[in-house]
Amino acid sequence: MATFAADALVVVHLLFVAFVVLGGFLLVRWSRLIWLHLPAAVWGAYIEFSGGICLLTPLENRLRVRGGESAYAGDFVEHYLLPVLYPAFLDTSLQTVLGGVVVAVNLVAYRLAWSAWRRKTRG
């Protein structure tokens, strides 16, 4: 059961990462989502810029150990996403770039949402 919970947590974590990076685009349609997305985006950027590890990663590792598997070193992005996206090891400079990507994508998304909100209020 613990292994299943760890696997489910990976899916939740992946969805959270996708929401952090791309969720700002949902604001064009659902403006109240800003109250969930803004803190999530700030948290995601903070984790990347600080070189920290999301709280879900140690929880997943504890569940894996409890289920008889081994834990992994590093963070979620390093373990699951970077092997797919980048062949190189995650270092601080790459993590800073990823944090910049989070901020840049969300600035574009929030700009689009702002424009949509202004059109609604004018129309």
Total Cβ atoms within 10 A of residue 4: 10
CA torsion sign for 92, 98, 99, 101 is positive
pLDDT at position 63: 92
Q: Which one is predicted more confidently, 48 or 75?
A: 48
Q: Which two tokens stand for residue 13?
A: 């974590």
Encoded tokens for 94: 């790459």
Total-model pTM? 0.73
Grade residue 88 by pLDDT with cuts at 50, 70 and 90: low
Q: Give the residue from 46, 52, 35, 41 showing the smallest Cα distance to 16.
A: 41
- Convert the pLDDT of each residue in 3-59 to its tens digit: 889 888 888 988 998 999 999 999 999 999 999 999 999 999 998 889 888 888 889
- What pLDDT does 89 receive? 62
On the question of pLDDT at 111 being above 60, the answer is: yes
Instruction: Give 82's contacts (C-beta < 8 A, 6+ positions apart).
Output: 88, 89, 90
